[in-house]
Structure 1
């Protein structure tokens, strides 16, 4: 599998993004859903990567710069055809390493508090992310869990 920066133009990427956003709709009220849409993922402060397994799209994820020392993981998704094949771990390892390479000292994320998001929370915890207070423009929300990890230049766990 190969991870590449993507411009969000291919039909496969757009379809998986639509599936991602649609799957989040029933999990929480609109004001508690923070996944970036196509326009948000194309912003200059966001870098978007896709995982390709040959010609098949295996997943995607993004890094959003919050400050010169703090970034946020956005919109991680594994294609149904590649669930439980290590895509999410591979991508998360890449995003953590990219954040280290860019010189960030902290990497954070927001995910849901419902059972639907439990596998994601376990994955993030296995990579050293710990619960934290809301960061950036987030507010306390019972539908959200905020997690963060200090980056010290060490290779990502997980």
Structure 2
């Protein structure tokens, strides 16, 4: 019997999740200068304005993602990540669709994100664009940065 894929709230401090988030932070620091890395560590993902989920198949971690409430009408996608060994299995898209659905359920009128600007981030840009995200200017506490791409989706 094949395990069922599921998306559920999870603890960012869980061992396998922590390892994935550490991989994420290492990769972000390898691609961008420190002042341009906006990825969150485990403690910051536990803040009350952030909800964190994982995609799992059985016990196997396939992806993670978080939704931060900027204000009652605007959410931000944070910590979207798929382990290198699990890429191209659809888990990232499933997480993105889940985050968009939750944002709509919460009544957000806009969902935004920040990601890197180098070629390494092109697959992420394509994923977000395929879901309807379009380029925008900085939002929230962000400032213009040549190492950042800002995108938004009207809900």
**Contact 1:58–1:81 (8 Å) recurs in 2:** no
1:133 to 133, 137, 140: 137
Cα distance in 1 for partners of 2:126, 2:97 equals 14
Question: In the alignment, is residue 64 of structure 1 matched against residue 62 of structure 2?
Answer: no
TM-score after normalising by structure 1: 0.94
Give the alignment partner of residue 25 of structure 1, picking from 24, 29, 34.
29
SS at match of 1:66: strand
Mapping 1:63-102, distance limit 5 Å: 63-102=67-106
Structure 2 residue corresponding to 1:47, chosen from 51, 54, 59: 51
TM-score of the aligned structures, taking structure 2 as reference length: 0.95
Deviations 1:28-51 (A, max 9, x none): 111101011111101000000011
Deviations 1:108-127 (CA, angstroms, capped at 9, x unpaired): 00000100100000000000
CA drift at 1:80: 2.3
SS in structure 1 of the partner of residue 71 of structure 2 = coil
Partners of 2:30 and 2:19 in 1: CA distance: 18
RMSD between aligned residues: 0.7
Aligned pairs, number:
151
Q: Distance in 1 between matches of 2:102 and 2:32?
A: 30
CA contact 2:13–2:42 (8 Å) conserved in 1: no
The DSSP-based 3-state class of the residue aligned with 1:85 is coil
Runs of 5+ consecutive residues of structure 2 not aligned to the other structure: none
Q: CA deviation at 1:10?
A: 1.8
Aligned in 2, Cα 1:38/1:133: closer, same or farther, shift over 3 Å? same
- Gaps spanning 5+ residues in structure 1: where? 152-158
